[in-house]
């Protein structure tokens, strides 16, 4: 069983397809990173890894389909970044992760269908960015999320039709940015949101007809920008806002 007292990087190993079941890594004090391993198919053999002292970064692995080897992981001390892995369809093995210590970045994963692997996550102490995931249908996997300390950005997820998975989110410390989601019908899933500590940016979501999902929002500490939503007929969803600084 291997313990690493610093960071562990697997980067630019062009022929590496997997770690193998015998790779018994139990602890990483620093960050764990898999970057630009063009032939990597799976992140396996890490079932014994429960706590990660730094961040988990999975970036630009062209053939990566599965990260099922991380089923034992419960704590991530830094950020969680799954970005620009064009073949990955999901990461259900992260469903045991209850806390992270930085940003949550899910970006540019062209085949990603859902974020169900984040179902135990209660809060994010940084930013949450869900963008450029062109096959993402919904964010139901974020159903446990209650607070985001930084910004929440949902952008360029062209198949996403709603944000129902955010039904328990009550507080966002930074901006709320919902932009260029061309299939987004409603934002009713934001009905529990009462506090926004930054700007409200609703831009170019063509089929979005109302802002009724923001009916619970009472405090908004930033500007309001609603632009280019072709089907928007009314903004009554902002009628409960009693405090705006922007």
Position 23 confidence tier, pLDDT thresholds 50, 70, 90: low
pLDDT of residue 20: 73
Beta strand 123-124 pairing with 56-59: unpaired
pLDDT tens for residues 165-214? 999 999 999 999 999 999 999 999 999 999 999 999 999 999 999 999 99
Phi, psi of 232 (to 5 degrees): -70, 120
pLDDT at 46 over 70: yes
pLDDT of residue 21: 63
pLDDT at 1 over 70: no
| pTM of structure | 0.95
pLDDT of residue 130: 98
The residues that bridge with 92 in the sheet, in sequence order, are: none
CA-to-CA distance for 117 and 154, rounded, in angstroms? Answer: 18
Position 40 confidence tier, pLDDT thresholds 50, 70, 90: very high
């Amino acid at each position: 069983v291997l313990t690493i007292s610093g960071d562990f990087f697997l980067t630019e190993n062009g022929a590496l397809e997997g770690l193998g079941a015998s790779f018994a890594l139990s602890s990483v004090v620093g960050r764990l990173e898999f970057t630009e391993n063009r032939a990597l198919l799976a992140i396996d053999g890490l079932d014994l890894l429960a706590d990660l002292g730094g961040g988990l970064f999975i970036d630009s692995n062209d053939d990566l389909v599965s990260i099922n080897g991380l089923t034992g992981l419960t704590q991530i001390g830094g950020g969680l970044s799954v970005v620009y892995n064009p073949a990955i369809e999901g990461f259900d093995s992260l469903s045991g992760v209850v806390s992270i210590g930085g940003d949550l970045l899910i970006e540019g994963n062209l085949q990603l269908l859902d974020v169900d692997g984040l179902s135990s996550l209660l809060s994010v102490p940084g930013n949450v960015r869900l963008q450029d995931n062109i096959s993402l249908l919904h964010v139901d996997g974020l159903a446990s999320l209650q607070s985001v300390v930084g910004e929440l950005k949902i952008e360029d997820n062209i198949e996403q039709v709603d944000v129902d998975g955010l039904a328990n989110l009550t507080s966002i410390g930074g901006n709320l940015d919902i932009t260029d989601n061309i299939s987004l019908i409603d934002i009713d899933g934001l009905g529990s949101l009462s506090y926004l500590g930054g700007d409200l940016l609703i831009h170019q979501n063509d089929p979005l007809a109302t802002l009724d999902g923001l009916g619970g929002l009472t405090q908004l500490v930033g500007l309001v920008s609603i632009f280019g939503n072709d089907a928007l007929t009314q903004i009554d969803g902002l009628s409960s806002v009693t405090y705006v600084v922007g």
